Each structure stands twice: as structure tokens, then as C-alpha cells.
Amino acid sequence: MTTRDIQQAQRSGLSRFLRAPLERVAGECAAHWGAPDSLDGVLSANLAELPRCRLLYALDAEGIQNTANVGTDGTEDGFRHQDLSGRPLWPTELPEQGLALSAVYVDQHDRIPCITALHAVPGAGGVLGYLAADFALHDLHLPAPEPDDPGWAQYRGDPAIRGTLFFQERAETRLEAEMDAALAVLETLFAEGGIFHAKIHFSGSRVTLWGTADPFRYHVHTLEEILDPDLFLNYPGPGELPCPGEAAEQVGRVLERFKELRRMDDTLYLRAGSLNVCNNLVGLNFSCDGTHYLGVGDFLARGMAFWVGEAAPPAGEGLSS
């Protein structure tokens, strides 16, 4: 799924979750629309029926608030008559009926990501206004997105680096001199399940690792630390591999291809390469500062001719910026 696909799926799920209860409350609001105090009572009586809602209020069709703010801490009258039509919670396309979700915005008071659901309040002559319900994203417990299906993406780097590409020449680093030994250590760490993500900085002779036992922190290691057998004590392997599959089975081939790309040319060469076996993704950063991301199978299917410019990507493939 793309970033946009994930966002659309989350919005669709949230809309399904909120549509029925907000429709019912909006119907009750319609019967009391001309009486602000009665409307406050309707909102107060229904707040508990909207799980995880931080704030309920009503607005007229122009975005002017005509009730108090009704929240878990009580009712606040000081917000009546404020114009919310210029706020991020006011959608660009207002629904004639049913539900609309605002753009995600950062609350100006609590500084947390929020979203507002607006449900049309029906009247005999059309929309009377809108019932608004504010939610903090962290209260909604949104489901984890489906894993990505990695495609091929290319991003241009610093124009200054690209402009001077042919004035530079690869200099062999200390890591290159010990490349086979260093890559063998990484292959073993992947095979034992001690790490699931590694980034090899060939030009800087260091490696950044993400351990399975402590996935929320990464660790940067010098060449000396990588070559020290005691490093395996830092990354204990679990009883089972964290992410079995194609990427985990092809670690050796990926690392060998990294080595070939590092030495493919004295001008155009790999500066850094990364592998994540859980999202089946390879990352490449070249001397021209161009960066590629692609799935493990796609990466291994491309011969060296592709990377040295003798082959073009398939028509319509890739993303550049």
C-alpha cells in the first residue's frame, strides 16, 4: 500500500466507525436546533455514547459555533459564536448529508494530532448546520497499516553533488579493505535473527544496526566493533526469526550485490546500502547522491548493467523527485 492508500483506508475505517452514532445524535440536534441550551443538553447526554470523543459542539452552515463546547471535563460556554470556518477542522467540501472528516491538524492548545468529524444536521429546507466531534488520533487506536508491497522508487539528491560528480573519485575505505569479513558478520546477525535492519556506510566505514530485541533504538558501530566477535552478545537472537521469507533467505546475495555496486566504477559507486528483512526493502545511496528503494526480489533481478546505465527501468516504473 502507498502512503495515500494507507491514509484512505484509515479514513474509510474511521468513517464507518463514526457514521451511525453521529447520524443519530445529529437527528436529535435537529429537533432542538433553535434552542442553544437544549442543544447543549443533547450533546451532554450523548457524549458518553461516542467513545474516545474529546469534544462535541454544533455549528451553523457558515461555520459559526452555536453551542458550548461539551467535553469530558464539562461544558464551556465561552466558545459560543466563534467563527471556525477558517480552521483546519472545516472541510473544503461540506456534506449536504452524512459525514465528512476534516484534514488532520495539530490542536492549537494541546499540540497533538487531531481530526474532526462533521455530520450534517438535516432540516426541512436543507442543511441546518453541522454536528462536530473532535478526536485525538492517539485516542482512536487506529489499526496498524498493512505491510507495504515495495515497488521501485528513485529520488534525486543534492544538485551540488550531482554537478561535481565527475570531479570526484572513489577512495578505498577501511571497511572496503575488510569488506568480506564485515559482510559475513552482518549475514550471521541476520541469519540468527539478532538484527532485522542494517545500513552499511561504505564511505564512512561504519554500520548502523536495528536489533530484534530492542527495535526502537538503533546502534552505530565502527569497523572495529563489527569485526569483534563479542558483537554477537549485543544482538541476541530470538527463538524464531522475526520475519521469515524472501528477504531473510536472500541476505547473502543482497550483501554480495552491495559489494559489487561499491566497486563497480571509480566515479559512480555505492556510498551506503541498507536491507530490512521485515519490509523486504533494499535502500541504495550512490556517489551522485541519488537514492533508490526497491524490493529484494526486484533488486536481485537487476543485473549490474542496469546500475551502470546500460539498461533503463521498465516503462512507467519508478518515482523521482
Helix residue ranges per DSSP H, the chain: 3-30, 36-46, 137-140, 159-163, 174-177, 179-192, 223-227, 246-249, 251-262, 296-301, 304-307
**DSSP secondary structure letters along 207-222:** EEEEESSSTT-EEEEE
Q: Where are the domains of the chain?
A: 3-140, 152-307
Q: What is the pLDDT of residues 200-212, one digit of tens each?
A: 999 999 999 999 9
Q: What is the pLDDT of residues 58-73, one digit of tens each?
A: 999 999 999 999 998 8
Model confidence at 12, pLDDT cuts 50, 70, 90, reads very high
**One-letter amino acid for residue 258 of the chain:** F
Closest CA to 40 of 21, 55, 62: 55
**One-letter amino acid for residue 85 of the chain:** S
pTM of the model: 0.70
Helices then strands, counting H and E runs in the chain, come out as 11, 14
pLDDT surpasses 50 at 191: yes
Q: Which pLDDT does position 320 carry in this prediction? A: 36
Q: Does domain 3-140 have CATH number 3.30.450.20?
A: yes
Q: What is the pLDDT of residues 237-281, one digit of tens each?
A: 887 788 888 899 999 999 999 999 998 888 888 999 999 999 999
CA 199 to chain centre: 19
pLDDT surpasses 90 at 143: no
Cα distances from 141 to residues 71, 88, 104, 113, 137, in angstroms, run 19, 22, 15, 13, 7
Rounded mean pLDDT, 109-124: 90
pLDDT surpasses 50 at 317: no
